[in-house]
Amino acid sequence: MIMDRSLELEELLPMGLERFEKEFRNKKWFVEKNNTDRFNHFSWEELDEYLNSSDLNGYDRLPQCQIINEKGNKYCHKKAKRKIKKDEMYRYWKRGDTFVLTLCEFLNKTMWNQCVKFEKHYGRGCANLYCSSKKDAHCFKTHCDSTENFLFHVRGTVRWYIMNEYEWDCPPEDATVNKVVDLNEGDLLYLPKKLYHRVDTLGPRISISYHFADKHSWKGGSRASWYDWIGDING
């Protein structure tokens, strides 16, 4: 049986939905320290199964594996002139490159349904999975995102540097640290769009970023119930 561990937005917000909309949404970041297994959306076993199956370059699977190297640069199969072989990818994993699985909501029912529940309040979104094998893994340099982010920390510990500045204030290299926050398993971090940040890994980790466009900007239809057909088959 496929377990569904997704949560409604109201269950995630310690301040409540109404206050979040008025005071926090795209205005202020927040972190909720929970330290439970409530974000057990993906496991090391599932990651191992994915990385050892099929084509990791994304040609025959929807989630695509991207790799962040020691310079903070990203390998993406769409821009590469060749595919990366699995033994080469394993070396990157062991040396501390961060692996990013984009569109990872297609990997299991929980992540798919978590997107469905967020989309009651947001436009169409998606999930990215960030995973690293060791402390001081190679991650993105200081940057910002074009969408709001709900970061579910699933495994291990990471150190987040939340900056004072947004994209319109200064270039990323000039951003100054507002707060340093360690995220452990079960912790939730919300980031408004365009707020600068960066991450250090304190050991092996899995994090999932659920990010969404503004609801008024999404012109497409509703998300299909991708997993419903399984229940239909099983009766």
What confidence tens digit (pLDDT) does each residue in 87-130 have? 888 888 999 999 998 888 888 889 999 999 998 888 888 899 99
C-alpha distance across the termini of the chain, in Å: 13
Q: Is residue 95 part of a domain?
A: yes
pLDDT of residue 72: 67
Residue 184 scores a pLDDT above 90? yes
Count Cβ atoms within 10 A of the Cβ of residue 45 and give its class: 0-12 exposed, 13-18 middle, 19 or more buried.
Answer: exposed
pLDDT of residue 193: 93
- Is residue 70 within 8 Å of residue 138, measured between CB atoms? yes
Q: Is residue 34 part of a domain?
A: yes
Global confidence as pTM: 0.85
pLDDT band at 223 (very low <50, low <70, confident <90, very high): low
- Is residue 212 within 8 Å of residue 223, measured between CB atoms? no
- Domain limits for position 158: 21-234
- % residues pLDDT > 90 (the chain): 53
Nearest to 210 by CA among 122, 144, 137, 83: 122
Q: Is residue 70 part of a domain?
A: yes
Q: Is residue 10 part of a domain?
A: no
pLDDT of residue 34: 79
Query: Which residue(s) pair with 153 in the sheet?
Result: 207
Instruction: Give the pair of three-digit tokens for residue 193.
Output: 């769009």
pLDDT band at 188 (very low <50, low <70, confident <90, very high): very high
**Residue 194 maps to which CATH number?**
2.60.120.650
What confidence tens digit (pLDDT) does each residue in 49-97 have? 888 775 655 544 556 778 888 776 666 655 555 567 778 888 889 999 9
Q: Is residue 180 part of a domain?
A: yes
Query: Which residue(s) pair with 32 in the sheet?
Result: 188
Looking at the chain, list the stretches that DSSP marks H as alpha helix, in order from N- to C-terminal side. Answer: 9-12, 17-19, 44-51, 86-95, 109-118, 228-234
Q: Is residue 7 part of a domain?
A: no
Nearest to 129 by CA among 160, 148, 108: 108
Question: What angle, 0 to 180 degrees and rounded to 10, lies between the N-to-C axes of helices 86-95 and 44-51?
Answer: 140
As a whole number, mean pLDDT of residues 149-156 equals 94
- Number of domains, the chain: 1
Residue 44 scores a pLDDT above 60? yes
Half-sphere exposure of 230 (CA within 13 A, CB side): 8
Degrees to nearest 5, angle at CA 71 with 66 and 76: 20
Residue 46 scores a pLDDT above 60? yes
Nearest to 124 by CA among 34, 191, 228, 216: 216
